[in-house]
Chain A
Amino acid sequence: MVVIIDYQAGNLTSVVRSLKVLGVEAEVTQDPAVVARAARIVFPGVGAAGTAMAILKELHLDAALRTAMDQGVPILGICLGAQVVLDYSEENDTPCLGLLPGRTRALPRQPGLKIPHMGWNKVEFLREHAIFKGLPADAEYYFVHSYYPSPAEESMVLGVTEHGSRFPSVMGRRNLVATQFHPEKSGRFGLQLLENFLGWDGSYAE
């Protein structure tokens, strides 16, 4: 069973319908008991880190996610979901889940640079990963964010994107992979990435 975690951070309609296009009826849940039974977890979200963490704790989804991580369940974090899996976020000065070591930082501001980073941009793949299978180098993905994930170790950065400066846009370790962009809003290449995730066994050798 594919489980989409609903922690009231943005609407999940587009994630649900993308998986449906791929023939998967995912279960949208706020229930840690359902998360505990998941074969695969999609952890999306838009909004602010502070509110998101408060709700995750209130619903006891933080512990459920840590358990799933330890048990090797394949997890896909998207956007805010790719940020709160780290130890800490600069946004609202928020301690986060700590599934991966690292911090979420604000995109550096500079004159003339638009923040949020909103629209289509390329990802340079730095390492091979099962979720990149079949994706051409010049494919673009839809981004909308003002913060970015900065994992503690270079080996966890799977892809980078340029907006003023280069930032990690895909990261992963073991059974967790996370994209700052929205594969569910990124046309057929985003759909390909989601399909790759659905076929991934959660193993990844750094």
Chain B
Amino acid sequence: MLSKRIIPCLDVRDGRTTKGIKFRDNVDIGDPVEMARFYYEAGADELVFYDITASSDRRDIMIEVVRRVAAAILIPFSVGGGIRNLQDMRAVLLAGAEKVSVNTAAVLEPGLISQGAKDFGSQCIVLGMDVKKVEPSAALPSGYEMVIHGGRTHMGIDALWWAKEAERLGAGEICLNSIDADGTQAGYELGLTKMISAAVSIPVIASGGAGTPGHLYDVLTAGRADAALIASMVHYGTYTIKEIKDYLQQRGIPMRLHW
């Protein structure tokens, strides 16, 4: 039986890891390669790196990080943030990442998903979705809207429609981030996660709001997520991955317990 995945997320700025709280007041907490090796040995099933570097030489910095991470761990990892075109995708994949996550660029240019899937395979292409709750309307019937720029810019695109469209275009997986829950540590947004996961056949990684192992249990059962992204709860040492996995296993969730 397929295990549910526990995936630490590492935000990277200027080649160093941070943890953003609602995308503001980021604190520097270390070297991404050291953290990757630490989480690999601690039982992470996969890793996500999210590049929030703003400078123009961001790509070179991140490619070097990807290359060093790839040499340090033997589990899959994905890279997102600032993937704008096929050249960016190719550079990240050739540096050793298994997957690339496209977010803003895919909303602005959906052809990036289909072309990326054609060139590199669907299994490489993760659709990153930043989603905000809104009043349901004719244009936004699901009551969830696609946003970019950390939630500051509303796209006028319905999140449920976009998830299905991205699957049709060839995305292999969805990483679903609730802007409302992100950084709160008050739990994942279960209704959103369940709605999206039930509507597509590709796996959905839930993101935003993890604070306790119970939150992971909820999103992997009621939320129907296939994997859970975690950050602060492990970055600051509140829980180990093993503690989280043992807890979930005891509550009947299939987990990879030997590594």
Tell me the A residues contacting B by CB distance below 8 Å: 10-11, 13-14, 17-18, 21, 46-48, 109, 113-122, 136, 138-140, 142-145, 162-163, 182, 184-191
Contacts and interface: CB of A to CB of B under 8 A. Distances in A.
Contacts, number: 98
A21 B73 CA distance: 10
5 contacts: A11-B93, A114-B202, A119-B203, A142-B76, A189-B259
Interface hub of B76, B120, B124, B226 (most chain A Cβ within 10 A): B76
A71 to B, nearest CB: 31
Nearest to B259: A187
Contacts of A17: 70-71, 96
A120 B256 contact: yes
A189 B74 CA distance: 10
B1 A185 contact: no
A188 B1 contact: no
Given A10-B120, A13-B70, 13 more contacts: A11-B93, A13-B96, A47-B121, A114-B2, A114-B202, A118-B173, A119-B2, A119-B203, A120-B3, A121-B1, A184-B74, A186-B75, A188-B259
B203 A120 contact: no
A30 to B, nearest CB: 16
A200 B93 CA distance: 31
A188 B74 contact: yes
B178 interface: no
Contacts of A122: 1
A89 B45 CA distance: 30
A116 B74 contact: no
Contact of B45 (A11, A114, A119, A162): A119
B257 interface: yes
Interface string B1-24: 111110000000000000000000
B121 A48 contact: yes
Contacts of B40: 187
Interface string B23-62: 0000000000000000010000110000000000000000
A185 B98 contact: yes
Nearest to B122: A116
Interface residues of B, number: 34
Contact of B203 (A11, A116, A142, A182): A116
B123 interface: yes
A65 B45 CA distance: 34
Contacts of A136: 258
Nearest to B201: A115
B128 to A, nearest CB: 16
**A-B pairs, 6 with minimum CB distance:** A13-B96, A47-B121, A120-B256, A144-B123, A140-B256, A120-B3
A91 B70 CA distance: 30
Interface hub of A18, A143, A185 (most chain B Cβ within 10 A): A185
Contacts of B222: none
A121 B201 contact: no
Contacts of A114: 2, 201-203, 226
A46 B3 contact: no
B223 interface: no
A38 B92 CA distance: 30
B2 A121 contact: yes
Interface in B165-208: 172-173, 201-203
Nearest to B66: A13
A113 B200 CA distance: 10
B202 A116 contact: yes
A46 B123 contact: yes
Nearest to A118: B203
Contacts of B173: 118
B103 to A, nearest CB: 19
A10 B2 CA distance: 24
B94 interface: yes
B2 A120 contact: yes
Nearest to A142: B76
A10 B120 CA distance: 6
